[in-house]
Amino acid sequence: MTDQEFRSGFVSIVGRPNVGKSTLVNQIVGRKVSIVSSRPQTTRTQVRGVRTTDRTQIVFLDTPGIHKPRTLLGERTNTRALTTLDEVDVVCFLIDASEPIGRGDRFIADQVGQVRTPTVLVVNKVDRASHQHTIEHLALASAELGDIAAFVPLSARTGEGVEALIGELEARMPVGPHYYPDGIVSDQPEAVLAAELLREKLLAVTHDELPHSIAVTAEEIEERTTKDGPLLALRLVIRVERASQRGIVIGRGAALLRKAGTDARLELEALLGVRVHLETHVRVDRDWQRRASSLDRLGL
């Protein structure tokens, strides 16, 4: 084995909901591959982000936030997050610098401690840390979280400290192949990316009115040739659990749905470099978070 051998591997990013996992993946990859929201439990699936250099390739799994589940969906997302721990080369365990270490952190630490995968403790949101919760305090408190291979304070929002984390991860990558071609930053299909972007925008425009009982799927996707050039047309279906939630999503005069759709379309066009047409429909699928048949149909 020489220093010139190409190294590659997989990294799982785990932590409580809303500690900044998606923001960190987007910052490392250099492009949005995972949706970001101020609300916890936004990520529901394992999103792969890929960072490739001439020496290394790291594939990141942005897992759902581990939490006390209240629905079948919550149970499934927890299981999905925890099962990655044995399947990767490094675990990045995120905690929030602006909050004390809590029961949720200790629960995850216990799960991480049951596998042999090296763990890097990432203390995120250092730019927002209060005087009472300094990095020094968290460094001492993290001793109770088990066997930690490295400790990295950073801000996923500003990028401060992210290069140090990348260095720690690259040093732990085994010799391996290119799993993805150069230039690929995510393995999310265009249809999945469009659906997730629309869900992000809906969460933003509905503020606190809309709970997490919303799902978006792409039912149809078509590449068209027009006189103005290529066009990607998608039909997106928004599912809610109650008829009253349908009105919240649509808004008065369809204003909220129109704004969310426009924001999602513009961002998707910027990411894909092609004109996009989004057709949106809102459907009531009662208690879908609690029914196995609905979750299976949605791929959750």
Going by C-alpha positions, the residue among 15, 38, 24 that lies closest to residue 105 is 15
Per-residue pLDDT at 210 exceeds 60: no
pLDDT at 250: 87
Check residue 275 and give its pLDDT.
87
C-alpha atoms less than 13 angstroms from C-alpha of 180 in its C-beta half-sphere? 20
Residues 232-247 have a mean pLDDT of 86
State the CATH architecture for 190-297: 2-Layer Sandwich (3.30)
- Residue among 112, 138, 110, 109 nearest 125 (CA): 138
Over range 263-267, report the average pLDDT: 88
Per the prediction, the chain carries an average pLDDT of 80
At residue 53, the pLDDT reads 93
Question: Do residues 91 and 85 touch, judged by C-beta distance below 8 A?
Answer: yes
Angle, alpha carbons 223-228-234 (nearest 5°): 30
User: DSSP characters for 87-115?
Assistant: TSSEEEEEEETTS---HHHHHHHHHHTTS
Task: List CB contacts of 239: < 8 A, sequence separation 6 or more.
Answer: 214, 215, 216, 217, 283, 284, 285, 288, 298
pLDDT at 286 over 50: yes
Strands (E), 37-144: 47-52, 56-62, 90-96, 119-124
Nearest to 219 by CA among 204, 233, 209: 233
- Quote the pLDDT of residue 297: 63
Query: Tens digit of pLDDT for each residue in 110-132?
Result: 888 888 899 999 999 988 876 55
How large a percentage of the chain has pLDDT more than 90? 22
pLDDT in tens, 148-162: 899 899 999 999 999
Where exactly are the structural domains of the chain?
7-171, 190-297
pTM above 0.85, yes or no: no
**10-54 pLDDT, tens digit each:** 998 888 878 888 889 889 988 776 655 444 444 445 567 889 999
Residue with tokens 């930053």: 185
Q: Do domains 7-171 and 190-297 have the same CATH topology?
A: no
pLDDT digits (tens, 9 = 90+) for 64-118: 656 555 666 566 666 666 677 878 899 999 998 888 888 888 888 888 888 889 9
At residue 131, the 3 state secondary structure works out as helix
Q: Are strands 119-124 and 90-96 parallel, antiparallel or unpaired?
A: parallel
- Residue 41: the pLDDT is 45
Residue 164: what pLDDT? 96
Residues 6 or more apart whose CB falls under 8 angstroms from that of 59 comprise 8, 9, 10, 11, 48, 49, 50, 179, 180
What pLDDT shows up at residue 269?
A: 83
Rounded to 5°, the CA angle 226-227-229 comes to 65
Radius of gyration of the chain (CA): 20
Candidate CATH numbers 3.40.50.300, 3.90.1150.10, 3.40.1180.10, 3.30.160.340; the one for domain 7-171: 3.40.50.300
